[in-house]
Amino acid sequence: MASTIGMVLLMMIMVSLTSLASALSVNYYEHTCPQVESIVAGAVHKATMNDKTVPSALLRMHFHDCFVRGCDGSVLLKTKGKNKAEKDGPPNISLHAFYVIDNAKKALEAVCPGVVSCADILALAARDAVTLSGGPNWEVPKGRKDGIISKATETRQLPAPTFNISQLQQSFSQRGLSLQDLVALSGGHTLGFAHCSSFQNRIHKFSPKQAVDPSLNPSFASNLQSKCHIKNKVKNSGSPLDSTATYFDNAYYKLLLQGKSILSSDQALLTHPTTKALVSKYAHSQMEFERAFVKSMIKMSSITNGGKQIRLQCNLVR
Ligand code: HEM
Ligand SMILES: *[C@@H]1O[C@H](CO)[C@@H](O)[C@H](O)[C@H]1NC(C)=O
Ligand SMILES: *[C@@H]1O[C@H](CO)[C@@H](O)[C@H](O)[C@H]1NC(C)=O
């Protein structure tokens, strides 16, 4: 307990220090690499043409990057020797499309060698992923440095899909993010897919008395059960996170209000008056959702813990 409080205090100090230290700016590469935006957007666009799961993968990758050691590209590093990297940490399920970042980096090295950080490439790619999916566009502050450490064990710092509202609130506030940020950023679940293992807690053995989470719409729950039947368990089975999983819209919030959310952590947003009110607000207004999402994305993607270098290859430290 004492060590938990110590950790929380330490994290709070780190967050306040880094918000002083980080001087990100939207025109950071104006003179050193003016092509950066178009090159990253091109790489994301090209990959998405071939694989519709690329945008959701990039958005989630950026979230994982920022929640472990700040947005420093640590999620991109590969395991080297005995040091297992974040990539190979426990909740890496569905992390993919690393090649998109690597391709963008290669193209950038050809025109402005040693200039653009991998952390910035990922932040840009996440924005491009949202815009390409029909979501909002915004200017991404840049100037992150790449970290040199990536540890699989640290992925335990990521929020789990079984977290309740107080655990989610704690996880976000440790990183300087509010309940409003939590609700707006959970809207990232308008894109992509969850494997059965991520929501199995809701559809069988939910509690000693109930097999199924009673907050789920019953027919929706049986549909999830049939997709994840233990006996005919198909590898990689699961469910889209919302009904329009390649389109960035506010359907996620509408479905949540109908008992049709996928993760317990989504459902948890309805268990606190502040977050519940925000869910309703975003369900009723795509515009309010987009405005809040952009604001919170900029906040999340500005968590920097003082990276050290500009990598030459995104999966390797220099
Ligand atoms: C609030 C805490 C969060 C929890 C507990 C959480 C948990 C999860 C889980 C368990 C999955 C499914 C993984 C799988 O089964 O393959 C997932 C998918 C996803 N998450 Fe979250 N997430 C959270 C917040 C966020 C945030 C802040 C973003 C980005 C803004 C985000 C974006 C995504 C995306 C896009 C996917 C789909 C990935 C894909 O299809 O490849 N999540 N999340
Ligand atoms: C996730 O971790 C497993 C186990 O270490 C590893 O085999 C797999 O390649 C990792 N997935 C990704 C996308 O890196
Ligand atoms: C959330 O879970 C934690 C850990 O299991 C527990 O201590 C806490 O009371 C729970 N909070 C709510 C609001 O359910």
Spell out the domains of the chain, with CATH numbers in brackets: 7-158 (1.10.520.10), 165-296 (1.10.420.10)
Q: Which atom in ligand 2 lies closest to the alpha carbon of residue 98?
A: 13
Q: What are the tens digits of pLDDT across the range 134-164?
A: 999 999 999 999 999 999 999 999 999 999 9
Tell me if 170 CB under 6 Å of ligand 3.
Answer: no
Q: How far apart are CA 156 and CA 154, in angstroms?
A: 5
* pTM of structure: 0.93
CA–centroid distance, 281 to ligand 2, in Å, is 38
Q: Which ligand neighbours the alpha carbon of 54 most closely?
A: 1
Residues 303, 293: contact at Cβ < 8 Å? no
**CA 155 / ligand 2 centre spacing (Å):** 13
**Which tens digits make up the pLDDT trace of 53-79?**
999 999 999 999 999 999 999 999 999
Is position 284 annotated in a ligand binding site? no
DSSP string spanning 248-301? -SSHHHHHHHTT--SSHHHHGGGSSHHHHHHHHHHHH-HHHHHHHHHHHHHHHT
The response to whether 102 counts as a known ligand-binding position is no
H/E stretch holding 228 reads none
Any binding-site annotation on 249? yes
Of 64, 195, 204, 272, which one is the catalytic site residue? 64
The answer to whether 44 touches 125, Cβ cutoff 8 Å, is yes
Q: Is 64 a catalytic residue?
A: yes
Q: Which tokens belong to 198? A: 């991520």
Assess whether pLDDT exceeds 70 at residue 10. Answer: no
pLDDT tens readout for residues 18-42: 444 458 999 999 999 999 999 999 9
**Gap from CA of 88 to ligand 2 centroid (Å):** 5
